[in-house]
Structures are given as C-alpha cells and as structure tokens.
Amino acid sequence: MSMPNVPNITPIITLEREKVINLLLTSIALEEIGLSHLLNAEAEKIQSVLKHKDFCLGDALLVNESVERMLRNIIKNQMLLQFKLEDVIRLDHKHDHHFEE
C-alpha cells in the first residue's frame, strides 16, 4: 500500500503588525463577552432557584456549589485573558520603542 499524495498547500497570508494587534485585542474582547454571558447565566440560575418558594436548603447548596465551580473557571479564564492582554500591550510597546531607537 502506497502513501497518499498530499498536495503542497502553503497559503500566504500577510498581515500588518497593527492589524495583528487589533485582531488579538478583538479576540480577547470576544472571549470577555463570552464570559459575561456565562456570568449572566449563573445569575439566572440562582434567581430561578430563589423564585421557587419550596426549594430546600440542599437544593440551594447544590446550586451554590455549581455556581462556585463555574465562577472559579471564569476567574481562571479572566487571568489568562489578562496575561494575553499584557502580552499584546507589550508587543505594541516594543514596536513603538523599536522605532524610537
């Protein structure tokens, strides 16, 4: 059995530094929007439980545990986004300083 022939596909994509930085900032902003939707969903989950007059303490504790896990994950993602943002800002500043020298 012979090996399949894969065509050599090398797309050439060129982006200017400013466009790359803008794309990176946009991706961070979109991730932030996604996290805000998750936070809103967690708030709605809590409100839904509290609206029911017949919920028991066990139900409230289960919801609380679920929300806490989600908030921990959101915070972890926020930290990563902060690192990404700092790296993008550093990229932009390195570019500015490079031309000053």
- What is the number of domains present in the chain? 1
Is 42 inside a domain boundary?
A: yes
- Asked, for residue 11, whether it belongs to a domain, the answer is no
Residues spanned by the domain of 52: 19-100
pLDDT in tens, the chain (101 residues): 677 777 788 888 888 989 999 999 999 999 999 999 999 999 999 998 888 878 888 888 999 999 999 999 999 999 999 999 999 999 878 766 555 44
35, 77 Cβ separation under 8 angstroms: yes
Q: Is residue 50 part of a domain?
A: yes
Residues 6+ apart with CB under 8 A from 56: none
3-class SS at 8? coil
Predicted TM-score (pTM) of this structure: 0.73
Domain assignment of residue 8, yes or no: no
Nearest-angstrom CA–CA distance, 79 and 101: 33
pLDDT given for residue 101 in this prediction: 44
Nearest to 88 by CA among 28, 31, 14: 28
